[in-house]
Structure 1
Amino acid sequence: MKKYLLVFALFLIGTDYTFAQANTEQEIKQLSLDKWQWMADKDVVKLEKLFDDKAKFVHMSGTWKKDRELEIIETGSIWYKNAEIHDTAVEISGDVAVVWNRITLTAFVRGSDVENEFTVTEVYQKQGNDWKMLVFTFSSVRNTHEIEK
């Protein structure tokens, strides 16, 4: 009887862990989706809270830190109008989450709309009760690119 209780307890613990992991993945996916909308809306107040103070941003035209990214979004020098997400993968390791989004980005840059295919890598860290973005990197890819899961 004790053996069955032990097996049942281990099953419950494993189920609880799997459920918590799935919830965390969904939370991160939703945060990533929200971030794209905040960027389209130029909502720098929400983005300022999301971006860690030491965050790095890698784009086709350069690499910069949080203040410059927020300035770019606020002024509209790059207006992230729409990110059509084709595929998403999330991996969690402790208090770190990595998100890969394969997207078609429509952005207003240097006076005109442009459309590019990217795989965007986002790295988040759980800090207290909040997730903070540490890294945001655009990698130019072909539209046939797939994210291996």
Structure 2
Amino acid sequence: MKKLSTVFFLILISMQFSIAQNTESDKEIIQLSKDKWQWMSDKDVDKLSKLFHEKAVFVHMGGAWGTEQELNIIKEGGIWYKKADIHEVSVNIIDNTAILLNRIDLLAEVGGNEVTNPFEVTEVYIKQGENWMLGSLSFTKLLTPGGH
């Protein structure tokens, strides 16, 4: 009985340690996403180029493209991500992949016109070594503001 209690205790401790690690990783991904929105607003392509994987894909209402084109669009102001109001965020981590969902209202300037759209944004991050890199960013326009 004592052996069984010890085994149960060790399993419980290892589960709590695993949950704590996931929580820290979740927090890290959420902060990285917030930083990304700020860097996009600031048009800081130097920081973004370190975050975006070279093979990343970006899916917008107007099409899909790779990292180089996304960085050029941000740098040249084709899309200026002025402000992302984040309403909900969730993270699921599977091995070395993190999937973050944001429900946002995005204020952007597109082709010289300022627009606000409600989106569900899917961000996929891949851990390479000690760093997380963005592998995919997809915007799904919601039918109504707030997504209701």
Shift of 1:9: 1.0
Shift of 1:144: 4.4
Deviations 1:122-144 (A, max 9, x none): 11110101001111000010224
Q: Once superposed, what is the RMSD of the aligned Cα atoms?
A: 1.0
Shift of 1:145: 2.4
Matched residue, 2:132: 131
Alpha carbons 2:105, 2:146 under 8 Å: kept: no
Structure 2 unmatched ranges of 5 or more:
none
> What TM-score, normalized to structure 1?
0.94
> What TM-score, normalized to structure 2?
0.95
Matched residue, 1:143: 145
Structure 1 unmatched ranges of 5 or more:
none
**CA distance, structure 1, for counterparts of residue 147 and residue 104 of structure 2:** 10
Shift of 1:89: 1.2
Matched residue, 1:98: 99
Deviations 1:71-124 (A, max 9, x none): 011111111000000111111111000011010000111112111111111111
**CA distance, structure 1, for counterparts of residue 147 and residue 29 of structure 2:** 22
**CA distance, structure 1, for counterparts of residue 40 and residue 146 of structure 2:** 25
Letter of the 1:145 partner, please give it.
Answer: G
Shift of 1:49: 0.7
Counterparts of residues 1-149 of structure 1 (less than 5 Å): 1-141=2-142, 142-145=144-147
Task: Report sequence identity in percent.
Answer: 45
**CA distance, structure 2, for counterparts of residue 73 and residue 136 of structure 1:** 14
**CA distance, structure 2, for counterparts of residue 73 and residue 38 of structure 1:** 10
